[in-house]
Structure 1
Amino acid sequence: MFLFLTGLAASTAATVLLSLPHPGPALGRGPEACVPSGHDSRGRSSVDRGVIAWEDDTVFDDARSYAVGQWTGGGLKKVAFRPDTASEFADLEWNDTRSSGGDWKNVLARWTGRPGTDSITMNRHYLDDGGARGTAAHRRRVATHELGHALGFCHKSTKAGSIMWADNAEAARFGIDGITAGDRAAYHRLWGRA
């Protein structure tokens, strides 16, 4: 989940992240531990036999396409991404909501693992043009982050310099617009090399 933080934290994880010092990212470092706890996991991913077959019901096709390019470029070939077909069950659905209350307060997007088809839901309230994070750069960063969750990656410590930071504003502040060396290392550790 990518949080948009204004004032009070929107979740316990965000509270933990807000309380950590921000020394700046270490972009060349290896994979970092998950925060507040846990670990990257193939079992907590949308990958089915090396593929994420997706169906699309989002207005943010550019962001989805950018995210797929980030997680398949530069030798990241162990997991393939493709649209689902009439004879193939979708592993992941991209969809939208427009909400600023309840569970969606200050939340830009969310990956949800569930039986059957997992989902990435982009929040148009914040991401549409004119919204608080309504730029192509924010949408692309958010989609890349959420697709990282679909690959089994958790939120990373702020010292990691990772697209998997929970705080979109911090990623933007440090110029993290796509996956980093640490994200590549985490990918290779979890999925192997091509």
Structure 2
Amino acid sequence: MTSPLHELSVVVALAAPLILVSFLPSDLTADQQRGAAVAPAPCIGSERERRSESSVDDGEIRWTDKTRYDTARKHALEVWQFNGARIKLRPDSATTVNDLEFRDYRGGAADRAAVAQYVRDSGTAATDYVRFNRDKMDGRSRAFMNSAAAHELGHALGLCHKTGRVLSLMWTDIASPPITSPQAVDKANYNALWR
């Protein structure tokens, strides 16, 4: 049986120029290649995983949406509710405070323009945002859009970017084919943050 990572490459697309970067299975540890439980991975650069950097409020994220990318939003909400997930992702209601809003913007199609972004507002009872750049999202495959949405929701859950040495949804790049759900290392980091 051929490894699903046999020919995985990366398209830098979230916040950097669109380029194709090869990623070989040999770059992964033996545990990652065979799907064994993995330890949490460190953040890149000066990034840190902190509850205070998330949209989580009392064990949940209440969300609203004003996006044309409903399929990607629904996918992201679904994949982050994996078995054992502690943080509940629920629609906002008339009696709750909105924690996160999904919305679109026109950010341009330049190489440095982000595909999507998580925008944190640190004010009391403030709403954070997952924003989709229509200029970069339109015309992309469903898997690409699902990857971008799930990645940004990972940030709303407090997760940081990971290096290319671990198989992660939280890479700064969108893989080709796209990684569309949290991987073992993403779940390990999530569980370490929210245990």
Please classify the TM superposition score into its range, dividing by the shorter chain length.
Answer: 0.7 to 0.9
Percent identity between the two aligned chains: 35
The match for 1:172 is 176
Gaps in structure 1 of 5+ consecutive residues: 8-17
Q: CA deviation at 1:49?
A: 0.2
TM-score (normalised: structure 2): 0.80
1:23-63 Cα shifts (integer Å, max 9, x gaps): 54454432211111232111100000001000100011111
Greater share of residues in helix:
1
One of 57, 81, 89 as aligned partner of 1:48: 57
1:96-151 Cα shifts (integer Å, max 9, x gaps): 0122168x94310000110200000011111112xxxx111011000000000000
Please tell me whether residue 68 in structure 1 is matched to residue 80 in structure 2. Answer: no
**Structure of higher RCO (CA pairs closer than 8 Å, 6+ residues apart):** 1
**Runs of 4+ with >3 A deviation:** 21-29
CA RMSD of aligned residues (A): 2.2
Corresponding residue SS for 1:139? helix
The match for 2:41 is 32
Whole-angstrom CA distance in 2 between matches of 1:178 and 1:3: 19
1:48-100 Cα shifts (integer Å, max 9, x gaps): 00010001000111111111111102221x10011111121100010001221
Please tell me whether residue 138 in structure 1 is matched to residue 144 in structure 2. Answer: yes
Please tell me whether residue 154 in structure 1 is matched to residue 160 in structure 2. Answer: yes
Corresponding residue SS for 2:56? coil
Shift in CA distance, 101/128, structure 1 to aligned 2, threshold 3 Å: closer
Gaps in structure 2 of 5+ consecutive residues: 1-12
